[in-house]
Amino acid sequence: MICSIIIRSHNEERHIGRLLDGIERQELLEGLSLEVIVVDSGSTDSTVSIARHMGAKVLSIAKEEFSFGRALNIGCSQAAGDIFLFASAHVYP
């Protein structure tokens, strides 16, 4: 079973690494794997490069096209998971 974690972001270089590190440190139930998708809305800082470096799949949308629902829907459309978990880039597990 796959859990897709869909994270929306915009200029979150100060936080995204801590979130992704926290996700990586989680103990998973046997048979469960994680897929991390970051939907970024035009970040001009290091958010995207940090996310990619830490193994997340990054989807980009224009800042002008951003809404919370749209970002999550785009992430869901590209997710392979059986379970979806949604987060903002500035939260920590």
> What are the pLDDT tens digits along the chain (93 aa)?
999 999 999 999 999 999 999 999 999 999 999 999 999 999 999 999 999 999 999 999 998 888 888 999 999 999 999 999 999 998 887
pLDDT for the residue numbered 67? 86
- Distance, in Å, from the CA atom of 67 to the CA atom of 83, rounded to the nearest integer, reads 22
C-beta of residue 58 within 8 angstroms of C-beta of residue 10: no
- Give rounded-to-5 percent helix, strand, coil for the chain: 30, 30, 40
Q: What does the DSSP 8-state code read for residue 45?
A: S
pLDDT for the residue numbered 72? 93
First-to-last alpha carbon distance for the chain, in angstroms, is: 20
Query: Residue 34, by phi and psi: left (phi above 0), alpha (psi -120 to 50) or beta?
Result: beta
CA dihedral defined by 26, 68, 78, 76, rounded to 10 degrees? 70
Domain 2-88 has what CATH class? alpha beta
With 0.85 as the threshold, say if the pTM is over it.
Answer: yes
pLDDT for the residue numbered 25? 94
pLDDT for the residue numbered 51? 98
pLDDT for the residue numbered 86? 96
